[in-house]
Chain A
Amino acid sequence: GAGVSQSPSNKVTEKGKDVELRCDPISGHTALYWYRQSLGQGLEFLIYFQGNSAPDKSGLPSDRFSAERTGGSVSTLTIQRTQQEDSAVYLCASSLQPSSGANVLTFGAGSRLTVL
C-alpha cells in the first residue's frame, strides 16, 4: 500500500484478556519495527524484523509480549493477559533495508490500546 497500515485504530479490552495488533508495512520495505508510546512519553522500541533474520526482541517489556511477521510482510503484535500499564499507542514503522542506520522509518497511525 501507499503507507503503513495498522489495525485496529482503537482497542478497548479488559484486564487479563489477550489482544492482537496488526501492521501492514509499505510494499517492498524489508525492515519492520514496533514501538510503544505511553501517555506523555517518548517512543519506546519493542521489536525489529529484517527479512528472514532472527528478530531483535530486546525491547519487549515482558514475556507477555510477542510478535511475528509472516511471509516477510504483515506483522502481528500480541499482548497476553493485558495489564493496565499496557495501555498505550502501539506504532508500527517500516523501512527499506536498514544497513547503515541511515534509513528513514515510515510510521503508521498507530493502534491505541486501552486496558480497563
Chain B
Amino acid sequence: AQKVTQAQTEISVVEKEDVTLDCVYETRDTTYYLFWYKQPPSGELVFLIRRNSFDEQNEISGRYSWNFQKSTSSFNFTITASQVVDSAVYFCALSEFASNTGKLIFGQGTTLQVKP
C-alpha cells in the first residue's frame, strides 16, 4: 500500500541554521512522483518541487535542496541558512502512475518554526 511518513512533527531552529525535513515513502509502483508543498500560516499550499522515480539527481534551488534516494525510499528536504519566512508546515507527497488519477498521498506534515 502507498504511504508517506514524515516522522518529524515539529522542528524549531534559530535563523541562519540549516534544517532537514525527512520524508519516507512506500509504494509498489515502479513509476511514481514525489512532491514537496509548503503551507504558510495563510493556509494555501504552495508547490515546491516534483521528482519522478527515474531521476535520482539531487536538486538545488537557492537555499532549498532535495535529496532523493530510492535505496532508502527517502526524499529529504534541506533549507540552508533558514529565515523566519520559512516558518510553515511542509508536506511531502506521493503520486503513483498506476492510479491514473494524479491524486496525491500526503504525509502528516512537519511544522517548521524559525526563530529570529
Contact = CB atoms under 8 A, between A and B. Distances in A.
B13 interface: no
Contacts, number: 72
B82 interface: no
B104 to A, nearest CB: 6
Interface residues of B, number: 29
B47 A104 contact: yes
B52 A102 contact: yes
A84 interface: no
Contacts of B33: 101-102
Interface string A17-50: 0000000000000010101000001111100101
Interface of B: 6, 31-33, 35, 37, 42-45, 47, 50, 52, 91, 93, 95-97, 99-109
Interface of A: 31, 33, 35, 41-45, 48, 50, 56, 89, 91, 93, 95, 98-110
